[in-house]
Chain A
Amino acid sequence: MWRDHLTEIIVFSVLFLLVSVMGFVAARWRAPKDMAHLDEWGLGGRSFGGWITWFLVGGDLYTAYTFVAVPALMFGAGAAGFFAVPYTIVIYPLVFLVLVRLWSVSHRHGFVTPADFVRNRFDSPVLALLIAITGIVATMPYIALQLVGIEAVLKTMGVTGDNALARHLPIIIAFAILAAYTYQSGLRAPALIAFVKDSLIYIVILVAIVYLPYKLGGWGDIFAAADAKFDASPNPNDGILLNGNNQLQYVTLALGSALALFLYPHSITGVLASRNRDVIKRNMSALPAYSLLLGLIALLGYMAIAAGVKPLPGNSAGSVDNNTIVPLLFDQQFPDWFAGVAYAAIGIGALVPAAIMSIAAANLFTRNIYKEYLKRDASPAQEANVSKITSLVVKVGAVACIVFLDPQFSIDLQLIGGVIILQTLPAVALGLYTRWFHRTGLIAGWAVGMGLGMWMLYQVASPTRKHFGGSAFPLSEFGFDTTRTIYVGIVAVAVNLAVAALVTLALRAAKVEEGVDGTEPDDYFADEGDPRVTPGADRDADSAREPVA
């Protein structure tokens, strides 16, 4: 089995080890005076310039799972899988408008997480705790999914075993190495590794989109093969174009996913680590290069159809694992050594986001649970230490999810993750623009949005499953006479907003105490060099409100 793939395994292992060494060396890269500070370990000193931010955020948002799952979706369902392209177009103008303000206010007040901001803005530790827990819960399965990406590669190389432990041993080793260098180097490790990861991915994809269509008879033939496959399938909603039923789902999924992506703690960590507002704004013009890459990667799904790739069997008998189609396509079409490079690109591509996600989740725990509820007078060094240990715990948890639970469970959780992280939109994103909402109204909206989102996801059936079968909710369930579907997250967040607004009006009429805003309008435009920018020093809302003189 694995002996047939020896060249691939050697190339993969060598590149993987090279990257691991880089991860450890990263601690000395742009070394700070004092690493024992959460700003240094968890945000790379808030000092990253344009290039580093480009690689870091690109490596962060476009994960290994994306690279494996999007073509798998195209392979299975056709046009509906292409939502990844509008999704990653829409996100950048949104970041340009919204997250730049978060960067400014965070820089001036030393915020590390979105929940820090919410606590200060709405004067509500409870709301901040909810935001932090939502972020951690949404991020955990996302880390686990990165392992699914590596597993698809290992499976194709024949690295499997008879029992669960043998099968998962390579992943456990990979994650142990990742955990060790993230512990030591913090955000600097994924920032440095992202250079290698993204360079490899760009090379592989450029070769793939030139070489594969040439081998497979051109783009016309590739689309014709995909069209023929979907015509023959019994599913009415697949095809190389959308139909009347799934257009609304396509658009709401693209918008909802974009809104969710920039609310994820790991995206915010990447943005907050940049040096100034200009770095972020310039990156919003440069990051779409990755969207182009993703669009081309999505089309690998159709190339796999044209090449006649048959996915490997899944975990349960009779099922197939569509996630293996891209690795199989490379194995079938490329020389062994280049397939090895491609596999390394996917494998390393899993490490960068996994590291950033675990750092982001660890920061949330440290700042909004540990410091808020367990040890209020924690020093910056203690904060950094707790974050480092939490990042280890988070990774162990992710590995345990994959080893002991059905990977399908992680995929379900990730589906839920996108819907629940959207419920932080009113407090985090709208909170950056207005303090009109009452803190209790936001809590009420969050609770209702969560409940509704869960219920809707539970109701979605797929051909193989009764519940949690996807995120396309049939509008007929609401009593509309239509076969159209809509993305669950958009409905849940709309209801969340409506509830938050109604409760706010009611509380205001009843004159319920609203707390004090710890930020000033001016904070949202602060930039590098601003005399009042005090990274890491001003940790307490109350000190900021002390009358001057």
Chain B
Amino acid sequence: MIEKELMFDVEKIRKDFPILHREVNGKPLIYFDNAATSQTPQQVIDCIVDYYSRYNANIHRGVHTLSQEATNAYEEARIKVQQHFNAAKPYEIIMTSGTTDSINLVANGFSAILTKGDEILVSALEHHSNIVPWQMLCEQTGAILKVIPMFESGQLDMETYTSLLNERTKLVFCNHVSNALGVINPIAFIIEKAHEVGAAVLIDGAQASPHIKADVQALDVDFYVTSAHKICGPTGVGVLYGKEEWLLKLPPYKGGGEMIDQVTFEKTTYAGLPHKFEAGTPNICGVIAFGAALDYMNNIGFETIAAYENELLHYATEKLLAVGDVTIYGTGKKVSVISFNIDNIHPYDIGTIVDKLGIAVRTGHHCAQPIMDFYKIPGTVRASFSFYNTKKEIDTFIEAIKKAKMMLS
């Protein structure tokens, strides 16, 4: 344990993040809203500045040097993403504007595949971005949306899940980690069971990616999606991993430049993968910076990150429960997220007070109203820790919670 702590020097890491040195309301910033978006290390900021200072150009079309440099950097970033998720082919990685965009791309594609009476399963733990596109898809195709229920612990009910699967099930949709609770879902089991009935599986990795390095081949998942900004990268960039066979089957999502092969007014033939799904000028700089972010994280190592974050999670959980009158939602196997309430105090009030003390947490329903309805609560306070947070920050946070509790009780 001591050895691991020595290997992981959090103070050294914090120096990489300029934002962590600013003040909020006259207090040093404590950023515990990492599940909403992660902060950006200097290495990624430098990469963005370098792109616009040295080789900003449109890609895949110009023969000039700048365009070729930008194209190379963009495609190198795709390969970094491919290697990170261990995809078999670089063109199985589609760059999108984010998780929501990736999900909509797949949902749109399935509108051409689904027929009336087909079934889609979604977990009860989903973010709104994972519910709404499927509802729209069902309205469009006459397919039926069914829900994999959850237990009080925040774990999904796998027995019911298995019983819901049948030959009409065409798609199963589940997040790897719940954004509202931080619970890690048994996706390997979910994928295996879905495949037994021939259903495709889309896993939303947005909340898992900062903590867990998913191996899409080992998981045998059909689609895996995430956003760069959850993993120290920029906003407006996301990824869709899709198995080649599926990406070939799905029709293009958006029409425009880049995604075409031949265009006449009579007929257009589409470009091959991945360009078929990357219409228009992509977020070139963002994608390159995403590559830099993955380099940064992999350089520290996901095992090291997970071990340290787990230590923070346990430390904070213990201290928080000691405050008293605290309910934590979601137990069992979790990433470093604590979703909680204090008896008879609205989460919004707690968020307001701790913000005055320089601490950023998320309050509200976390875009997962069905989960809040399940627990019959208006929302929760969610503190989510990253590898650049410290136990000292958690101590300050606990003091802030005690103060808020005192003021609001």
A complexed with B: no
Residue positions of A touching B, CB distance < 8 A: none
Which of B's residues lie within 8 Å of A, judged by CB? none
